[in-house]
A = this chain, B = another copy of it.
Amino acid sequence: MKSLYFITSNVGKYNEAKQSFSDLDINIVQKNIGYPEIQADSLEEVAFYGIDYLKNKLKEPFIIEDAGLFIDAFDGFPGVYSKYVFQRIGCLGILKLFKDFEDEDRKAAFKSVYAYYEPKTKPFVFIGECQGEISKKMVGKQGFGYDPIFIPNEGTKTFAQMDIIEKNKYSHRGKSLEKLKVFLKNR
C-alpha cells in the first residue's frame, strides 16, 4: 500500500480525504509541518508556491488543500484571504458591504484547490467550485465560516441550513477531492 502525506493542520479536512480514499490502495497520513502561504489573487498560485517550498523537505508524494469564498461584486474578495477576513469582519461584515446596492449582483463561488506532488514530476492541481449567491441575511446554524450567507445555485437554503450530507452534494471541496481521487485511481 502506497503512502500519501496530507500536509495540513486541519483534522476535519484530513478525515474527509481519508474517508473518500478508503476504497483506494493508499494510506493517507496527516503531516502538520506548515508551509508559507503567499499573498496572491488565486488559490492555485498559493498552492504552487506551497508545493515549491515543501518539495525540498519531503521525499514522498504529498497533497495540500486551500479554499475560499470569491464574491463577484468585489472582484473575488475575500478570496484567498477568506479565513483572515472572516475572523475580522465575519458574515455581518460581508452583508454590510452589500448595503446600498440591494438589487445588484450577489453572485459568489466557493472554491477549493487540491494540489498533488511527487518527486520528479510537475505539480497537479484539482479545482472544485460551487457557484451560488450571497443571501440578504444570515440564516442557519450548521456548518462554519461563511455558510450562513451562502446559497448554492441549485438550492434555496444556505449551507448553514443543510446537514453535512446535503451540503456535501454541492461542496466545492467534495468536487476537488473527487477529481484528485479519479487521478490517483488511474495513476
A positions within 8 Å CB-CB of B: 36-39, 46, 49, 74-77, 80-81, 84-85, 87-89, 93, 96-97, 99-100
Contacting residue for A97 out of B77, B87, B93, CB 8 A: B93
Q: Complex formed: what's the CA distance from A77 to B94 in Å?
A: 13
Number of copies: 2
Tell me which of A37, A85, A88, A93 has the highest count of chain B C-beta atoms within 10 A of its own C-beta.
A88
Q: Which 8 A-B pairs have the closest CB atoms?
A: A77-B88, A37-B39, A74-B88, A36-B38, A75-B88, A96-B96, A93-B97, A81-B81
Q: Is the pair A74, B89 in contact by a Cβ cutoff of 8 Å?
A: yes
Question: Who on chain B is nearest to A41 by CB?
Answer: B84
Q: Complex formed: what's the CA distance from A74 to B37 in Å?
A: 22
Question: Who on chain B is nearest to A87 by CB?
Answer: B75
